[in-house]
Amino acid sequence: MKATLVMNFRMTNGKNTTVSITSPKDELTKAEVAAAAAEMVEKDALIVDDNHLEALDKAFIRTVEETLLQ
């Protein structure tokens, strides 16, 4: 299965943006994700159309199973 960490952030314009990270480490904790997200907000790591990250809205791991057709 393929795993992706999905982090949804609220922006300063009131809209949301998503950051997706493929192959997150196993046993990733909510606290680790929250700390990373807080640092992204604090360091102004992402700007979309002149809008800055304001806060993490939610985060989750999406898993997808791929089956090769034969």
Burial class (CB in 10 A: 0-12, 13-18, 19+), 63: exposed
Return d(Cα 27, Cα 47) in angstroms, integer. Answer: 29
Q: What is the pLDDT of residue 42?
A: 97
Q: pLDDT digit string (tens) for 9-66?
A: 999 999 999 999 999 999 999 999 999 999 999 999 999 999 999 999 999 999 999 9
Return d(Cα 55, Cα 9) in angstroms, integer. Answer: 6
Q: Given a cut of 90, is residue 1 above it in pLDDT?
A: no
